[in-house]
Structure 1
Amino acid sequence: MTAGIGTATAAGAGKGAGSPSTAERGGGAPRRGPFGALREKRKQAAWGYLFVAPAIALFAVMGVYTIVYGFSLSFAQWNGFWPEWNWRGFRNYTDLLGGSPTYWPIVKKAAVNTLWVVIAVPLLTVLVAFPLALVLNQVKRFQGVLRSVYFVPYVTTGIAVYFAWNYILEPNGAVNLLLKTVGLGSLQQPQGWLGNPDTALATMIVVMVWSAVPVAMLLYLTGLQSLDSSLLEAAQIDGAGWLRSTTTVVWPLMKPITVVVLLLNVRDSLQGFQSFLIMTNGGPGDSTSVLGLETYRLAFLSELSPTLGLASALGWLLFLAALVVAFINQRVMRRMG
């Protein structure tokens, strides 16, 4: 009886070993051939394209179409209502670059003012932001609170800030009142700091620097907090004081951040015009006119002949200038890297 059971068990085991597995009988995942794998990849790619199609369509309409349309308009004359454009070729560009006695003086004055802004704002931003970052880096208590306070100008709504600056800088504003209170009444501006052609542009530069300092300061602070403390300790062991350590050790190590701060502010100074539009609209006279503002005024506020084409041409000239800045940025960062 025992032998019979053992014989049956051995036979069953032999049968199980020789029979196909569940997967081999079709119970598991089926094997895909090369064509099945390719079909699956195409299906996944189709779903991917389907998901990104709305974004591509939106970019094609709002991006590619408007770029091509604006570039074509820069070679034409149009007032926004004519059924057809009057093609002028490169005359819009030549008029802006000295060929027209009507537009060239406007563009020249705006270019000079823009150059002052492009030079002054980045340099003053570095001169203010780096010392602030040094001071904030030395603070041990309430550093987070102070960092938030310094960052308030950047997160505050631009239009509200510009209107607040207008109130501060008007004839009866806080600046004139403060000067009178401390005995410097001779420095007051009776027509306001933005109403005097001699002080309007400088005042606008101060406002732009005030808006640009928070980001630059945080960039410097991040760089300072990532420095290797052993470098400063070695300088102190060699007898270097705080000022010498800052100028010979810390400042050279901050050069990459300084380059980024300078180029970002050059770009913003070149293309930005919102503050000028809200606070001065280019006045008094044309003392605060900049190229970005002139582009807007040629497009929407000009009382001269149809100037939408001129505005588009001036916008493309600014775009080329921004490309030059981006190219310089790339070359400088590559060398420093």
Structure 2
Amino acid sequence: MTAASSEAVAGAVSPLGRAGRGPHFRRREKAWGYAFVAPALLLFAVMGVYTIAYGFTLSFARWNGFSPRWIWVGLENYIDLLGGSPVYGPPVRAAALNTLWVMIAVPLLTVAVSFPLAVILNSVTRLRTVLRSVYFIPYVTNGIAIYFAWQYIYEPNGAINGVLGALGLGSLQQPQGFLGNPATALPALIVVMVWTAVPVAMLLYLAGLQAIDPALLEAAKIDGAGWWRTNRSVVWPLLTGTTAIVVLLNLRDALQGFQVFLIATNGGPGDATNVLGLETYRLAFLSELAPTLGLASALGWMLFLVALVIALVNQRMLRRLR
């Protein structure tokens, strides 16, 4: 039997032969593929596309969450939030100012703490894995537990006031607690955010440090550069891309995060720790001036637009660095 006749017999006998792999078989194969991915696509369409479109449409209306109809107001929600309303404008401006301070302080402090810490850990030869795990604990610990723990630390009878009293620095103590003083509440919560952000930033820097060619560091030492000069003039410029990523991640958290402000102070005292993310939550669920769900949706979309602009700027900067 020739090779051609053997192939013909195999194709006729086997269900996966040439006849079986015709257009009908390919259509059945595609149909099965679509059937397997259909549940995921349906879930994404319902939970993703539908909710996004629903929220965007809601930002142009007024609704209290219960009435069967919306009241269409066009751009009025956005205008009110940008200062057109004497009721909603001032809280949003105050929250925007607090958010700006958080967006400036958290990335800068995170970089200032995590980079030196990563350099020190990279030079440690013993217990390096243990130290990484210890420093990573704040990130893997439940956020709510962390916020309540810091609440205790900042209380009038908390750990910080106790330490200041023991050191004879009673003038720096806060009788009402660090979270009860409008002048110290926001900086205190910024410290909490930095404390939870440092572990990830430290690991990113540590990965970048281990990717640096040792020959570059040896060349710097041969040229007479000390530890400080090597890290400032050689290591730091090589990790510019990592720094941009760390800054972007912390900008995102500072812009959109509100959990710590909700749990620790609920925006108080007064509006000293109110941020835009928390103000969005308040408008949606806690406002006594119903209906405000449309205002909350509009503010959420404004935050999304700002986050998108920051991401695009960061992407362009990374391209230039390459």
TM-score, reference length from structure 1? 0.91
Describe the superposition over 1:266-318 as per-residue Cα deviations: whole angstroms up to 9, x where unpaired.
01100000110000100000000000000000000001131111011000100
Aligned counterparts of 1:87 and 1:120: Cα–Cα separation in 2? 39
Tell me which of 244, 257, 265 is aligned to 1:259: 244
Structure 1 stretch 210-219 or stretch 323-332: which is displaced more? 323-332
Counterpart contact for 1:22–1:28, Cα < 8 Å: no
The corresponding residue for 1:111 is 96
SS at match of 1:298: helix
The match for 1:32 among 8, 14, 18 is 18
CA drift at 1:44: 2.1
Letter of the 1:275 partner, please give it: V
Give the aligned residue type for 1:300: F
Report what 1:169 is aligned to: 154
Unpaired segments ≥5 residues, structure 2: none
Q: CA deviation at 1:162?
A: 0.5
Deviation at 1:20, TM superposition (A): 8.4
| Greater C-alpha radius of gyration | 1
- Tell me which of 227, 252, 271 is aligned to 1:242: 227
User: How do 1:250-329 residues align onto structure 2 when only pairs under 5 Å count?
Assistant: 250-329=235-314
Contact kept, 8 Å, 1:194 with 1:203, in 2: the verdict is yes
Task: Name the % identity.
Answer: 67
* Amino acid aligned to 2:38: A
Q: CA deviation at 1:43?
A: 2.2
2:75 corresponds to = 90
State the one-letter code of the partner of 1:157.
N
Q: Give secondary structure in 1 for the equivalent of 2:188.
A: helix
After superposition, what is the alpha-carbon deviation per residue over 1:22-52, rounded to whole angstroms, capped at 9, x for unaligned?
A: 554457647526x944333322222111111
Instruction: Say which of 170, 177, 180 aligns to 1:195.
Output: 180
What do residues 39-72 of structure 1 show as CA deviations (whole Å, max 9, x unaligned)?
3332222211111111111111111111111111
Residue 64 of structure 1 corresponds to which residue in structure 2?
Answer: 49
User: Which residue is 1:14 aligned to?
Assistant: none
- Answering whether residue 24 of structure 2 is matched by residue 44 of structure 1, we say no
Bigger mean CA deviation after superposition, 151-160 or 179-188: 179-188
How has the CA–CA distance of structure 1 residues 20 and 83 changed in structure 2, closer, same or farther, with 3 Å as cutoff?
closer
1:124 aligns with 2:114: no
Q: Partners in 2 of 1:209 and 1:318 — Cα distance? A: 21
Give the corresponding residue for 2:166: 181
Select the residue among 150, 171, 176 that pairs with 2:135.
150
Aligned residue runs from structure 1 range 193-232, under 5 A: 193-232=178-217
- Preserved contact between residue 151 and residue 214 of structure 1 (Cα < 8 Å): yes
Which amino acid in structure 2 is aligned with residue 78 of structure 1? W
Equivalent-residue separation in structure 1 for 2:34 and 2:318 (angstroms): 35
Normalised to the residue count of structure 2, the TM-score between the two structures is: 0.95
Structure 2 CA distance for aligned equivalents of residues 56 and 150 of structure 1:
39
Query: In the alignment, residue 199 of structure 1 is paired with which amino acid?
Result: T
Q: Secondary structure of the residue that 1:141 maps to in structure 2?
A: coil
Q: What SS does structure 2 have at the residue aligned with 1:240?
A: coil
Distance 1:240 1:273 in 2: 44
Indicate the residue corresponding to 1:11 in structure 2. none
C-alpha change, 1:132 and 1:20, in structure 2 (3 Å) is: closer
CA distance in 2, matches of 1:273, 1:295: 9
In structure 1, runs of 5+ residues without a counterpart are 1-16
Specify the alignment match of 1:9 in structure 2.
none
SS at match of 1:144: helix
Q: Which secondary structure state, in structure 2, belongs to the residue aligned with residue 199 of structure 1? A: helix
